[in-house]
Amino acid sequence: MELPTIHTIIFFTISILFSSLLLLHADTPPSTLEEEADRISSLPGQPPVHFHQFSGYVTVKENRKALFYWLTEATEDPFSKPLVVWLNGGPGCSSIAYGASEEIGPFRINNKATGLYLNKFSWNRLANLLFLETPAGVGFSYTNRSSDLYNTGDRRTAMDSLIFLRRWMERFPRYKNRDVYLTGESYAGHYVPQLAKQIMDYNNDKTNRFRIRLKGFMVGNAVTDNYYDNLGTVTYWWSHAMISDKTYHKLINTCDFKLLQQKESSECESFYSYAMDKEFGNIDQYNIYAVPCNKSDDQRRAFTGQTASLPHRRPLSKSRWLSGYDPCTENYAEVYYNRPDVQKALHANVTGIHYKWTACSDTLNRNWNDTDVSVLPIYRELIAAGLRIWVFSGDIDSVVPVTATRFSLAQLKLETKTPWYPWYIKKQVGGWTEVYKGLTFATVRGAGHEVPLFKPRAAFQLFRSFLRGEPLPKS
């Protein structure tokens, strides 16, 4: 048998390599190059991890608007795990500052803002987490037209978020056939069901190229219905001895709770001002049993706004300190994410935004021109569509308190499947829950407005039960 010559071997080797490259190129969609460009090799001060991270921009309006995202894939077997989208509220607050950096993300920022440490209750142990800063003007998300900052609201946010998600999946095609869940808190009580409805409408259009496999959503301490939220908030203040009987009756008898915000000159507004300035005292309204952080006097958390407004827009007291909990994490975020080396690692601020990165945008909050009076009609529609829907509430939050959520959800008049019972974590009562036909409601005992921040273990159990579609543990 004649042996092949060296020239023949080289020819066949080159042919095989060339064919492989052609095959690889044919099987790799153009978006793969964009995906690779968004890969995070490592963040400054980050401990070593085995999961993959990506971040960057997706354009939602050509030559004008782009939304920023951060994807932290699951720690184990990410290809079998669902995609969970997290949104923070405000309106105008950053999902990077809150959800990613002090609630459910894999990292926490140290108190010198020099580096990161691991969050052992990160939700990416169970799912791939996609943190989205929306609308344009929040965090690193930007618009080239300043009028966009003065003319935005619920509908624009939902539409842009849907465009983002569709285009993001074109960049990350492996997520097109993945189960998707939406999650968030606070004013994301509007964003999440509104985006869910946008996705359902998009899926029902048979001309679209692919369907987003939306399976459900979960929201915490969620703004839901103006009237019942505001009535429930004032009731919470009174029932927790934050205000006097006299102020309570004045608020109940004077205010139009259907409005999100009263006119500054209104009699109602003056009663709100009196309650907050004279009767609340120096407390953190997001956790009424905590003491303040002393590092900053101008903290802004999930809501910001004018001096005396209805419960969903108002200035905040200083942050708080609880055992095992650092109340100043927002301060660390504002230092860390303004570092040039951090922005470079995140592929952020690529256009050289002229203002500092902040956790919340006062401009957006003050100029929010479109808000649904109630999202309960959307709940009814999505319940009928068969989505898995969970609503949870930290029970020591006075901003969107448990009474507000219960008053609002009661208007759905849902049939009870499993009556009220205590659920457990580590042999302790984690909270209470009731399962309705089409919706599960749960409280988290001793948690403030940002439930995963105050009770990370309980929040992790809540999330695990939600993903599995199982009731919370009874023992």
Q: Give the residue carrying structure tokens 């100043």.
A: 328
C-alpha–C-alpha distance, residues 62 and 39, integer Å:
23
Side chain identity, residue 194:
Q
193: nearest Cα among 181, 209, 203, 204: 181
Residues forming beta bridges with residue 129, ordered by sequence position: 72, 84
Of the CA atoms within 13 Å of residue 97, those in its CB half-sphere come to: 29
Distance CA 434, CA 407 (A): 14
Which residues are identified as catalytic? Answer: 186, 397, 449
Alpha-carbon gap, residue 5 to 15, rounded angstroms: 15
Query: Which neighbouring-strand residues pair with 133?
Result: 68
Beta-ladder partners of 1: none
3-state helix, strand, coil in the chain (%, to 5): 35, 20, 40
Alpha-carbon dihedral of residues 429, 302, 379, 191, nearest 10 degrees? -140
Sequence-separated contacts (24+) of 151-155 with Cβ below 8 Å: 151/367, 151/369, 152/364, 152/367, 152/368, 152/369, 152/370, 153/91, 153/368, 153/369, 153/370, 153/371, 154/190, 154/191, 154/194, 154/370, 154/371, 154/372, 155/194, 155/370
Q: Is the peptide bond before 135 cis (omega within 30 degrees of 0)?
A: yes
Cα gap 256→147, rounded to integer Å: 30
